[in-house]
Amino acid sequence: MGLYNPGEIELDDPPAFNMEQKVRVRKLIRNDGTFPGRDIGEVLAKKGDEGYVVSIGTYLQSYYIYAVHFIDRDVVVGCRRKELEAVD
Protein backbone atom coordinates (compact mmCIF):
# COMPACT_ATOMS: atom_id res chain seq x y z
CA MET A 1 0.00 0.00 0.00
CA GLY A 2 1.19 3.49 -0.74
CA LEU A 3 1.85 6.41 1.55
CA TYR A 4 -1.79 7.48 1.70
CA ASN A 5 -4.55 5.26 3.09
CA PRO A 6 -7.87 7.12 2.74
CA GLY A 7 -9.44 4.99 5.49
CA GLU A 8 -6.99 6.17 8.13
CA ILE A 9 -7.39 9.70 9.54
CA GLU A 10 -4.97 10.25 12.44
CA LEU A 11 -6.11 13.83 12.85
CA ASP A 12 -9.40 12.60 14.33
CA ASP A 13 -7.36 11.83 17.48
CA PRO A 14 -4.82 13.90 19.43
CA PRO A 15 -1.14 13.46 18.52
CA ALA A 16 0.43 10.23 19.77
CA PHE A 17 3.55 12.10 20.96
CA ASN A 18 4.07 15.43 22.71
CA MET A 19 6.51 18.26 22.12
CA GLU A 20 9.94 17.54 23.64
CA GLN A 21 9.02 13.87 24.18
CA LYS A 22 11.86 11.40 23.74
CA VAL A 23 11.16 8.88 20.97
CA ARG A 24 12.94 6.00 19.21
CA VAL A 25 12.87 5.11 15.51
CA ARG A 26 11.35 1.69 14.82
CA LYS A 27 12.84 1.30 11.33
CA LEU A 28 15.58 2.60 9.04
CA ILE A 29 14.66 5.97 7.52
CA ARG A 30 16.19 6.99 4.21
CA ASN A 31 15.85 10.20 2.25
CA ASP A 32 12.94 9.73 -0.16
CA GLY A 33 13.89 12.90 -1.98
CA THR A 34 12.14 15.29 0.38
CA PHE A 35 15.16 15.98 2.60
CA PRO A 36 17.20 18.83 1.09
CA GLY A 37 20.96 18.61 0.85
CA ARG A 38 21.11 14.81 1.14
CA ASP A 39 21.19 12.20 -1.60
CA ILE A 40 18.09 10.11 -2.30
CA GLY A 41 18.47 6.86 -0.40
CA GLU A 42 20.91 8.30 2.14
CA VAL A 43 20.27 7.08 5.69
CA LEU A 44 18.75 9.79 7.89
CA ALA A 45 18.06 7.66 10.99
CA LYS A 46 18.74 4.04 11.90
CA LYS A 47 16.45 1.69 13.78
CA GLY A 48 16.94 2.38 17.50
CA ASP A 49 18.13 5.99 17.12
CA GLU A 50 16.64 8.24 19.79
CA GLY A 51 15.63 11.87 19.56
CA TYR A 52 13.16 14.49 20.72
CA VAL A 53 9.96 15.77 19.08
CA VAL A 54 10.59 19.42 18.19
CA SER A 55 7.41 20.13 16.21
CA ILE A 56 4.19 18.48 15.11
CA GLY A 57 2.67 19.11 11.70
CA THR A 58 0.21 17.40 9.39
CA TYR A 59 0.29 15.76 5.97
CA LEU A 60 -2.58 15.37 3.49
CA GLN A 61 -5.05 16.48 6.18
CA SER A 62 -4.84 12.92 7.50
CA TYR A 63 -1.56 12.24 9.32
CA TYR A 64 0.58 13.84 11.98
CA ILE A 65 4.22 14.37 11.06
CA TYR A 66 6.60 14.55 14.01
CA ALA A 67 9.80 16.51 13.45
CA VAL A 68 12.35 14.60 15.52
CA HIS A 69 15.77 16.01 16.39
CA PHE A 70 18.29 13.19 16.46
CA ILE A 71 20.99 14.87 18.51
CA ASP A 72 23.71 12.27 17.83
CA ARG A 73 23.23 12.69 14.06
CA ASP A 74 22.48 16.45 14.33
CA VAL A 75 19.52 16.13 11.99
CA VAL A 76 15.78 16.84 12.22
CA VAL A 77 13.66 14.30 10.36
CA GLY A 78 9.91 14.21 9.77
CA CYS A 79 8.46 10.89 10.95
CA ARG A 80 5.07 9.22 10.96
CA ARG A 81 3.56 7.73 14.14
CA LYS A 82 4.13 4.18 12.88
CA GLU A 83 7.87 4.89 12.55
CA LEU A 84 8.27 5.94 16.19
CA GLU A 85 7.85 4.63 19.71
CA ALA A 86 8.00 6.45 23.03
CA VAL A 87 11.11 6.11 25.19
CA ASP A 88 10.16 5.79 28.86
* Measured CA distances, 67 to 21, 25, 40 (Å): 11, 12, 19
pLDDT band for 7, please (50, 70, 90 cuts). low
Tell me the one-letter amino acid at 25. V
- Average pLDDT of the chain is 90
Q: Is residue 30 part of a domain?
A: yes
Q: Is residue 3 part of a domain?
A: no
Q: What value, to the nearest 5°, has the Cα angle with vertex 42 and ends 22 and 21?
A: 5
CB contact set of 77 (below 8 Å; sequence gap of 6+): 29, 35, 44, 45, 51, 67, 68, 70
Q: Is residue 42 part of a domain?
A: yes
Number of domains present in the structure of the chain? 1
Q: Is residue 2 part of a domain?
A: no
- Specify the pLDDT at position 3: 57
- Specify the pLDDT at position 1: 45
Could you tell me the pTM of the whole model?
0.85
CATH assignment of the domain containing 26: 2.30.30.50
Which residue segment(s) compose the domain that 34 sits in?
10-86
Q: Is residue 5 part of a domain?
A: no
**Cα distance between residue 73 and residue 14, in whole Å:** 29
Q: What is the pLDDT of residues 32-57, one digit of tens each?
A: 888 899 999 999 999 999 999 999 99
